[in-house]
Copies of this chain bind each other. A is one copy, B any other.
Amino acid sequence: MVHTMSLVHDDLPCMDDDDLRRGKPTCHVVYGEPIAVLTGDALLSLSFHHMARVDSYPPDIDADKHPARVVRAIGELARCIGSEGLVAGQVVDLEMTGSSETVPLDRLEYIHLHKTAALLEASVVIGAILGGGSDEQIERLRKYARSIGLLFQVVDDILDVTKSSEELGKTAGKDLASDKTTYPKLLGLEKSREFAEKLLSDAREQLLGFDQEKAAPLLHLANYIAYRQN
């Protein structure tokens, strides 16, 4: 199977199915670190550029009539990425990696809430803002997103110890092999499953106040994340 990047860069090696199962090489491996760093800066800027253009939005959002919503949505994205969001999670993760001590539970949750849940939070909350949600609705959906974000990681950790590589479509048991701190390691498998159930129920609860037909995709997403098998 041909690596998509090899379509534009002739000198890239083609990848076979085994390569793909192991994952594609990251940008810094293929293009070098300086270009990878600049690509990150460019993509980060592009996301804000995109959000600042009225024609980026579907017509029913009426972005040109609601610039204050667009400003608020941009602020939300910036907060979820920056030193209160993704970056904060990555910094704490970096500090923990290479440390010999086990990551305590609150630190593990901090990392996942900031590294994973923050981007789900931004996605959900931005939709709520642009859709004209009230402050209370926006905060409910924020809690929903944080719950499913954390749920995603807990389920990921559980699948890593309960499924075979074939079922996962990626190498199973690698968390254990790499000595990574996971929920099953800290809580045990049973308590991890209970925690996942609680997060799912928290997420569902936040959706109760909404029109159930409109909330159906979010409910489905929460269930999908909770019950996925790979």
Question: Does A38 sit at the interface, judged by CB under 8 A?
Answer: yes
A48 pairs with B48, CB closer than 8 A = yes
CB proximity of A205 to chain B, nearest CB, Å: 30
Question: Does A87 sit at the interface, judged by CB under 8 A?
Answer: yes
Question: Does A186 sit at the interface, judged by CB under 8 A?
Answer: no
Question: Does A91 sit at the interface, judged by CB under 8 A?
Answer: yes
Nearest-neighbor residue (CB-CB) of A83 within chain B: B42
**Chain A residue total in the interface (Cβ 8 A):** 37
A86 surroundings in chain B (CB, below 8 A): 41
Give the docked Cα–Cα distance between A68 and B52 (Å).
Answer: 9
A33 surroundings in chain B (CB, below 8 A): 33
Give the docked Cα–Cα distance between A42 and B80 (Å).
Answer: 10
Given contacts A37-B37, A67-B68, contact A74 B45 (CB under 8 A): no
B45 pairs with A87, CB closer than 8 A = yes
A71 surroundings in chain B (CB, below 8 A): 52, 54, 67, 70-71, 74
A45 surroundings in chain B (CB, below 8 A): 44, 78-79, 81-83, 85, 87
Question: Does A132 sit at the interface, judged by CB under 8 A?
Answer: no
CB proximity of A83 to chain B, nearest CB, Å: 4
Given contacts A67-B70, A91-B35, contact A41 B75 (CB under 8 A): no
Question: Does A176 sit at the interface, judged by CB under 8 A?
Answer: no
Nearest-neighbor residue (CB-CB) of A81 within chain B: B45
Q: Which A residues between 30 and 61 are near B, CB-CB below 8 angstroms? A: 33-35, 37-38, 40-42, 44-46, 48-49, 51-54
B78 pairs with A48, CB closer than 8 A = yes
Q: Indicate which residue in B40, B48, B75, B82 contacts A37 across the interface (CB closer than 8 Å).
A: B40
Question: Does A94 sit at the interface, judged by CB under 8 A?
Answer: yes
Question: Does A21 sit at the interface, judged by CB under 8 A?
Answer: no
CB proximity of A225 to chain B, nearest CB, Å: 26
Nearest-neighbor residue (CB-CB) of A37 within chain B: B37
